[in-house]
Amino acid sequence: MASFQELAQYVITGQFDQVKSATKSLIEDGKSPVDIINQGLIAGMNVVGARFKACDMFVPEVLMSAKTMSAAMEIVKPLIADADMPSSGKILIGTVKGDLHDIGKNLVAMMLESAGFTVVNLGIDIDPEQFLDAIDEHEPDIVGLSALLTTTMPFMKETIDLIVEEGLRDKVKIVVGGAPISQEFADLIGADGFAPDAAAATDLCRELLSVK
């Protein structure tokens, strides 16, 4: 019989087949699907996040761990009613207009999902109006804006300005990230926070929503 600790370890080490068999074993043993997620899968990804932040793990390993967790989640999710599905909050994320980079943004989305957040990933080349429409539709707690090119950084400000104009600024927190972005730029355009990498983004979102 598998344990939550073994399940977490399989996530940390990216053992795809083992994580699926361990998840099935825990279900057959009558363990709560929510406990499997919190005490096994998310617990494992919390370790991955800490190691990534400390440079003890690198992007390919983190992606493998995230994919391993996703494989287990596919087994567990059908057993949980949406209302019972644990969520630390809802985050809307996208790469701003004119920018086609998505690897970093997708890694952030994976890390956030692995930390228990519900993530709506809009993709790349998202203009301010699309962000606005998505805020209306999904009602997120946090909006994440990504840019990898200095030429697309102004669209971060345009997006935030539009959110302000439409009277939605007090309803969402806004975080920004990407290679050319700095805390100074985040402050300049009126964002609530800046994160230099996926692990820091996860910590920032936890902090903004007071999630332990």
Give pLDDT, residue 114. Answer: 85
User: Within a 13 Å sphere around the CA of 39, how many CA atoms are in the beta-carbon half?
Assistant: 13
Domain interval for residue 53: 4-84
CB atoms within 10 A of CB 103: 10
The pTM (predicted TM-score) of the whole model is: 0.81
CA dist list (Å): 109 to 21, 78, 99, 154: 26, 21, 17, 22
If you average pLDDT over each of 17-31, 67-81, 104-118, which comes out highest? 17-31
Give pLDDT, residue 211. Answer: 80
Indicate if 173 and 101 belong to the same structural domain: yes
Indicate if the pLDDT at residue 169 is higher than 90: yes
- Digit-coded pLDDT (tens) for 190-209: 999 999 988 899 999 999 99
Looking at the 3D structure of the chain, how many domains does it have? 2
> Binning pLDDT at 50, 70 and 90, where does residue 59 land?
confident
Indicate if 69 and 115 belong to the same structural domain: no
Indicate if the pLDDT at residue 88 is higher than 60: yes
Mean pLDDT throughout 119-125?
96
CB atoms within 10 A of CB 169: 17
Indicate if 56 and 122 belong to the same structural domain: no
Final residue in a domain of this structure, among 37, 59, 84: 84
How far apart (Å, rounded) are the C-alpha atoms in residues 102 and 185?
Answer: 21
Indicate if the pLDDT at residue 73 is higher than 80: yes
Indicate if 59 and 142 belong to the same structural domain: no
Indicate if 30 and 122 belong to the same structural domain: no
Indicate if 98 and 54 belong to the same structural domain: no
Mean pLDDT throughout 122-139?
97
Indicate if the pLDDT at residue 83 is higher than 70: no
How far apart (Å, rounded) are the C-alpha atoms in residues 176 and 75?
Answer: 33
